[in-house]
Amino acid sequence: MLKTKQQKNLLKKSPMKYIQNTINNNLNILSKELTKPQKRAIKEISNGIIRQQSCILKKIFIDTKNKKVQKKAENIVNILKKIELTEKVNEFINERATKYIKKDSVIAFDESEIAKPKTKKAEKITRIWDASQKRRCNGYNLCGIASRNSFHQLEIWDKEKETIAEIRWRMISKVAHQTKGKGIFVFDRGHDHTRLIKQLLKQKLRFVIRVKNLRNPRDLADNVVKNVTDFDLGYHPIRIKEKSKPWTGELYLVVTARINSVGEKEKAFFYTNLSPQQYTIKDVRGFYNQRWNIEVHYQQLKTHYGLESIRVKSLQTIKNILALCVFILWLSNRIHLSITKNFNVAMAGITSLYLNFKRFCYRFSLAFSSVSAFRSFLAKNTPLFFPKPPLPPPQNSLPFHVFPFSGVF
């Protein structure tokens, strides 16, 4: 596997230093305006989440050789109540993740939830629809925008402050400002509202929205209003409107065929402003299929970091823990991408990390391209966080027998 002496020497070097420096450098940028205890708490939690692959505070501090785990966790909770990390993490990741957005990169918006069926006393907990269990229970609603490799924006949706339309457009505006016209915004069913389409057309943002079967646009070919199910496969120039409001600008209805879960063929409908001269029906369908990446990111937060197992009552603490989980998810994806696709042999730290991760995958029969395997690798190589050791007493206070050569020579 290893041929040269240089590779063998790099393999002997521990990748922990590179990993720890990468985490610390990004956290220092993220926590510029915070106090030292707050910075220390954030670093401690971040290392614990990576190492334990869990966001439960008791589990994070269980291996710090500290007997007062409960007290330490309470101190961290008190610190997290006083700071706001959601906006900082969203701005930090959005600024860096949009650099990798190309012309036809898919940027997906979708909702999810943190299901907490047994929790009753948490702050601002509401009734939500748990899609995985197909039931209504207590929990929190999430709204997020993500590309292929990471989230750009992720927040807990507070229904008392703003509606879904307001938080959706606010997040889209922030991402669109950074991308500067690049990328294609993709939405699932339930977001095919005339208000959103008008906003996207006004800002000249390209989009693909899956449409419900109940919509009735105006077909410009026949100049007739009809149901989307009456359209044939292909591109159709249409107009849509909301009640008495005027019709929207130029728009297309794309009708494609898909195979459902039963194995039968059925039609799928999409609103888009992508020109038929530049994009085919398969392209539109492919853009929509790439929307699944945001579902994968939500699943990673819930399974790898145990997002639904948070045992905290304060909403602000839950928001900050969620922000740190999103930050760690982005960071692990970026490091994994750097050693698998954007590998640079000139960097000794990256080379050592590359070789050690390759040996780790070979030893445990894991796929080198798997991000989950890389998270397991990070969990084993992230150093434990130990409290600072007490300072030694001054030499003047030491007893006489400590100094072997004390006395008259």
Q: State both tokens at 59.
A: 């589990």
Q: What is the pLDDT of residue 367?
A: 86
DSSP one-letter string for 269-283:
EEEE---TTT--HHH
Task: Dump pLDDT digits (tens) for 250-300.
Answer: 789 999 988 877 778 888 999 999 999 999 999 999 999 999 999 999 998
Q: Which of 144-153, 235-244, 390-399 has the highest mean pLDDT?
A: 144-153
pLDDT at 398 over 50: no
The backbone region for 124, taken as left when phi is positive above 0, alpha when psi lies in -120 to 50, beta otherwise, is left
Q: What is the pLDDT of residue 346?
A: 45
End-to-end CA distance of the chain: give it in Å, rounded.
61
Tell me the C-alpha distance between 268 and 208, whole Å.
12
pLDDT at 111 over 90: yes
pLDDT at 390 over 60: no
Tell me the C-alpha distance between 329 and 306, whole Å.
13
Q: Which residue has the higher pLDDT, 396 or 270?
A: 270
Please count the residues of the chain: 409
Task: Dump pLDDT digits (tens) for 310-338.
Answer: 888 888 989 999 999 999 999 888 888 87
pLDDT at 401 over 50: no
Q: What is the pLDDT of residue 4?
A: 52
Q: What is the pLDDT of residue 87?
A: 92
Q: Which residue has the higher pLDDT, 244 or 113?
A: 113
Tell me the C-alpha distance between 63 and 322, whole Å.
22
Lowest-confidence region among 171-185, 241-255, 322-336, 393-407:
393-407
Tell me the C-alpha distance between 57 and 54, whole Å.
8
Domain ranges of the chain: 5-84+316-381, 86-298
Under DSSP, the state recorded for 270 is E
Q: Which residue has the higher pLDDT, 385 or 30?
A: 30
Question: What does pTM read for this prediction?
Answer: 0.84
Q: What is the pLDDT of residue 247?
A: 66
Q: What is the pLDDT of residue 69?
A: 65
- Among 294, 113, 93, 110, which Cα is nearest to 175's? 93
The CATH number of 86-298, from 3.90.350.10, 3.30.2310.20, 3.40.50.9100, 3.40.50.2300, is: 3.90.350.10
Task: Dump pLDDT digits (tens) for 338-349.
Answer: 787 755 544 555
> Parallel, antiparallel, or unpaired: how do β-strands 151-157 and 184-187 relate?
unpaired
pLDDT at 399 over 50: no
Q: What is the pLDDT of residue 23?
A: 82
- Contact (CB, 8 A) for 130 and 112: no
- Among 27, 122, 57, which Cα is nearest to 316's? 122
Task: Dump pLDDT digits (tens) for 125-178.
Answer: 999 988 888 889 999 999 999 998 889 999 999 888 899 999 999 999 999 999
Helix (H), strand (E) at residue 380: helix 371-381
3-state secondary structure 113-178: EEECCCCCCCCCCEEEEECCCCEEEEEEEEEEEECCCCEEEEEEECCCCCCHHHHHHHHHHHHHHH
